Amino acid sequence: MKRFFSRSLPTLLLACTLASHGAMAQNTKRGTISPPPSAELNYTINANQHGLSLNGSAVVHWTNGSGRYAIKTETRAMLLGKILEAKSEGTINTTGLAPVTSTEKRYRKDATTTTFNRDSNTITFSASDASYPIKGGEQDRNSVVWQLATIARSTPAKFKTGATINVVVAGQKDAEPWSFKVNKAEKIKSPLGDLNAVKVSKVVKDAGKEQKIDIWFASSRDWYPVRIRFSEPEGDFIEQNITSIASQS
């Protein structure tokens, strides 16, 4: 169980981060940047580790207003209680979400902070001495899901079947380029009814070592992420499914 959480909680962070307030579209030279409207989203969490089942829940608050965004998440597991608190804050610019800080507190771990230093154009980490340049469009593990939703809403041509979306993602200690492939829409069942959702998958270069990430965005629900699944090469997985969406004003 300890090994499961130490390896899987970083992915729960990506799966579970959102926040709450009024919607905003920002006009720029590149067009209209339109992140999803503010909302509170609730999810169920199902996981499996070497045949051991684990259930839980997550509440995610997504705030979009006045040229800024905020993402707050709290994830709980049965028997263990709170296993993750995460937060990402930043501005909204011509590339979409522009993180300033990302913090996360994992189960039995110290909190860590990733900072996007806009004055020096560098990304730095409280958990390492690494530094990466900011060239534009970089995300943290909290914001990348919502950046994809923003792209879907703002530039639909980039979200067509077969398209590839490249983004540099900063974690707790470093940053690396990720590629996402846009797949065909699928119908998924949920407490909200049947949803038509576009599946987006992280491109895996080494299937024997890399984690697979699949995200389903519901086009009829403002492109909110309604399902996220993380799969390990050995068969372990974490899946997050939407149970409710409450608009925030």
Helical (H) or strand (E) element with 146: helix 144-154
* Beta strands 81-93; 39-49: pairing state: unpaired
Helix (H, G, I), strand (E, B) or coil at 35: coil
213, two tokens: 């990430």
pLDDT over 60 (residue 218): yes
Give the residues across from 124 on adjacent strands: 115, 131
Q: According to the model, what pLDDT value does residue 31 have?
A: 60
Higher pLDDT, 18 or 246: 246
Predicted TM-score (pTM) of the model is 0.86
Q: According to the model, what pLDDT value does residue 135 have?
A: 96
Higher pLDDT, 115 or 142: 115
Q: According to the model, what pLDDT value does residue 9 have?
A: 45
Instruction: Express each pLDDT in 9-31 by its tens digit.
Output: 444 444 443 333 333 344 434 46
Band of residue 229 on the pLDDT scale cut at 50, 70, 90: very high
Whose structure tokens read 């997504």?
62
- Over pLDDT 90: what percentage of the chain? 71
pLDDT over 90 (residue 154): yes
Band of residue 77 on the pLDDT scale cut at 50, 70, 90: confident
Instruction: Express each pLDDT in 38-65 by its tens digit.
Output: 999 999 999 887 787 889 999 999 999 9
- Please state, rounded to an integer, the average pLDDT across all residues of the chain: 87
- Average confidence (pLDDT) over 239-245: 97
Q: How many Å apart are CA 68 and CA 97, to the nearest integer?
A: 8
Domains delineated in the chain: 2-247 (2.40.360)
Q: How many Å apart are CA 58 and CA 48, to the nearest integer?
A: 17
Helical (H) or strand (E) element with 148: helix 144-154
